Copies of this chain bind each other. A is one copy, B any other.
Amino acid sequence: MDSTQLFAQIRQKGSFLCVGLDTDPQKLPACLQGTEDAMFAFNRAIIDATAPYTVAYKPNVAFYEAEGVEGWRTLERTVTYIRERYPEQFIIADAKRGDIGNTSSRYAAAFFGKMACDAVTVAPYMGEDSVKPFLKDYAGKWVILLALTSNKSAEDFQYIPDVQGEKLFERVIRTSQAWGSPENTMYVVGATRAEMLEDIRRIAPDHFLLVPGVGAQGGSLEAVARYGMNSRCGLLVNSSRGIIYADSSERFAETAGAKARETAEAMRLMLQARGLIS
């Protein structure tokens, strides 16, 4: 999927919502506990209920890996389900991978070859040759590079300035622009750092940003849109726990759908205020 198609989806749905599938077997509604592949059944119900209000899904790979072989199967089933049933959705493997070249190639094969994800999140610490393999052989696929993350300890290294005063996350964004383009690279910027979006837009005016941390982590959607939206929206705002675990009763999917609709309605107003939709 290219950025024009993604923006078209955002306009059509009046939403830039990404639903995070951080599916934890311990947190499934009682009605699903003990059923066959309950994680997949949960995901399918959540996806069906939220798809009208959503442009992207982001399975958090850790939650599937923790279940071993069965979890990996559930992850593959989930990606396949979205790809077949909702081909317009942008699928992000939230995997935070990154390794030397020949190894990153194998991670790319996992998420872009074996699975039909559109994007994978990648940690920048190892530099260009650890990121390039995700871009090289996969037209229409995306790297989403960690820049400024939503957790408290982001301050440990990401904020450290060099001798010219450039912070590490700013250098990551600036340097990595030479590795790809706004057609295959996005950046993770936590909603908990929304005030930094203004600075980031000076370095990367055109790139899409994946913004986690709205909801359970305390970030504000309104601040993210104010500081981060560009002329093609340029934002995918993720919500995981606030949507998928909003209700633990048998009506969990209905409630998740209502939460997603509510978020999308707020997003529609923000898109309208910017004149991006009528």
Q: Is A98 an interface residue (CB 8 A)?
A: yes
Contact with B along A10-52 (1 / 0, CB 8 A): 0000000000001010000000000000000000000000000
Residues of B within 8 A of A127 (CB): 151-158
Give bound CA distance, A121 to B42, whole Å: 31
* Bitwise interface map of A from 107 to 122 toward B, beta carbon under 8 Å scored 1, else 0: 1011001110000000
Contacts of A114 in B (CB 8 A): 66-68
A124 close to B157 (CB less than 8 A): yes
A3–B66 alpha-carbon span in the complex (Å): 27
Q: How distant is the Cα of A103 from the Cα of B217 in the complex, in angstroms?
A: 13
Decide: A69 near B73, CB < 8 A? Known: A163-B161, A171-B160. yes
A168 at the interface (CB under 8 A from B): yes
- Which B residues are in CB contact (< 8 Å) with A109? 66
* Chain B hits for A65, CB < 8 A: 106-107, 110
**Is A204 interfacial (CB-CB < 8 Å)?**
no
CB neighbours of A97 from chain B (8 A): 62, 96
The reply to whether the CB of A198 lies closer than 8 angstroms to some CB of chain B is no
Q: Which A residues from 145 to 175 make CB contacts under 8 A with B?
A: 146, 149-158, 160-163, 168, 171-172, 175
Stoichiometry, copies per complex: 2
Q: Is the CB of A106 within 8 A of B158?
A: no
Q: Is the CB of A130 within 8 A of B106?
A: no
Q: Name the distance in Å between A95's Cβ and chain B's nearest Cβ.
A: 9
Is the beta-carbon distance between A129 and B151 smaller than 8 angstroms? yes
Given A123-B125, A125-B124, does the pair A76, B66 have CB atoms closer than 8 Å? no
Interface residues on chain A, number (Cβ under 8 Å)? 58
A128 an interface residue at 8 Å Cβ cutoff? yes
Contact call A62/B99, Cβ cutoff below 8 A: yes
Q: Are B161 and A22 in contact (CB under 8 A)?
A: no
Does residue A81 face the partner (Cβ distance < 8 Å to B)?
no
A69 to B76, CA, bound (A): 8
Q: Is the CB of B62 within 8 A of A107?
A: yes
- Tell me, yes or no, whether A227 is within 8 Å of chain B by CB: no
Known: A62-B97, A72-B69, A162-B161. A126 touches B106 (CB 8 A): no
Q: Knowing A22-B103, A98-B96, say if A156 contacts B168 (CB, 8 Å).
A: no
How close is A96's CB to chain B, nearest CB, in angstroms? 5
**7 cross-chain CB contacts under 8 A:** A22-B102, A63-B103, A96-B98, A100-B149, A101-B151, A156-B175, A162-B162
